[in-house]
Amino acid sequence: MSEPRTVLVTGGNRGIGLAIARSFAQAGDRVVVTHRSGEPPEGLEGVRCDVTDSASVDAAFTEAEEKLGGPVEVLVANAGITKDGLLMRMSDEDFDSVLETNLTGAFRCVRRASKGMIRLRRGRIILISSVVGLYGGPGQANYAASKAGLVGLARSVTRELGGRGITANVVAPGFIETDMTAALPEDTQKTYKAAIPAGRFATTDEVAGVVRFLASPEAAYVSGAVIPVDGGLGMGH
């Protein structure tokens, strides 16, 4: 068993982020999740954070560091939104707000986390992207652009901080069993599943397992990588 680490998961109050946070906590790591509103999930420490606001990100990290008793060693930048719409009808606001949350929000968290990681001379940065980032999706120009941008972010961080014991990787989930996919009509689910070599959607735990691997000592030499968790949907990335 490896030493317990300090972990911060953004948007860890529900969905994939919550599964990731619980998985680290079960493995014995010290975990704080960020939540935008409401209460933190049961059994986990939480701090309020809106990733579209630099001051909020800074304050959330400071509070998280107090709760964790030290700097964040593992950052999972998971907070994300969609505002789908066909290109010709997509407003500037719908494009900008998705970029602002998914890409600039991740950048703000990475920038803040890097301070402590540089001091520690170790750190793991894991950015939650999507198969859509490299595969594209009709009606998802904003979302795909934001998720593709995370690849350039992780690779630049790798080049800048790779010599200081810090890795930065991207996880690109495909269709995951969440409230969103459960709400899809059965026919639509069938069509999607037919296009996935694995023939099914993934569980949130299957995403969490890959994130945990990237944070583990075994993955110390993996950096700037894009790891798909998509049942083969996006092969060729």
Q: Between residues 120 and 225, which has the closer beta carbon with respect to ligand NDP?
A: 225
C-alpha to C-alpha distance for 175 and 28, rounded to whole angstroms: 28
3-state secondary structure of 23: helix
Binding flag, residue 13, ligand NDP (CB under 6 A)? yes
> Which one, of 140, 136, 143, lies nearest residue 100 by Cα?
143
C-alpha to C-alpha distance for 202 and 177, rounded to whole angstroms: 6
Query: Residue 47 in contact with residue 7, Cβ under 8 Å?
Result: no
User: Candidates 1-9, 33-41, 115-123, 157-165 — which segment interacts with ligand NDP by CB under 6 A?
Assistant: 33-41
Binding flag, residue 227, ligand NDP (CB under 6 A)? no
CB of 47 to ligand NDP, least distance (A): 11
Quote the tokens at residue 29: 């790591």
Q: How many residues bind ligand NDP (CB under 6 A)?
A: 29
Q: Using CB under 6 A as the criterion, what x/- string covers residues 49-68 for binding ligand NDP?
A: xxxx----------------
C-alpha to C-alpha distance for 199 and 204, rounded to whole angstroms: 16
> Which one, of 199, 144, 149, 148, lies nearest residue 175 by Cα?
199
Report phi then psi at 168, rounded to 5: -140, 120
> Which one, of 189, 223, 216, 193, lies nearest residue 73 by Cα?
216
DSSP characters for 28-42?
T-EEEEEESSS-PPT
Q: Is 143 a catalytic residue?
A: yes
CB of 16 to ligand NDP, least distance (A): 4
Q: Between residues 105 and 123, which has the closer beta carbon with respect to ligand NDP?
A: 105
Binding flag, residue 175, ligand NDP (CB under 6 A)? yes
Q: Which of residues 113-172 bind ligand NDP (CB under 6 A)?
A: 128, 130
Q: Between residues 15 and 165, which has the closer beta carbon with respect to ligand NDP?
A: 15
CB of 147 to ligand NDP, least distance (A): 7
Binding flag, residue 76, ligand NDP (CB under 6 A)? no
Q: Which residues are catalytic?
A: 143
Residues near ligand NDP, by CB under 6 A = 10-11, 13-17, 34-37, 49-52, 78-81, 101, 105, 128, 130, 173, 175-176, 178, 180-181
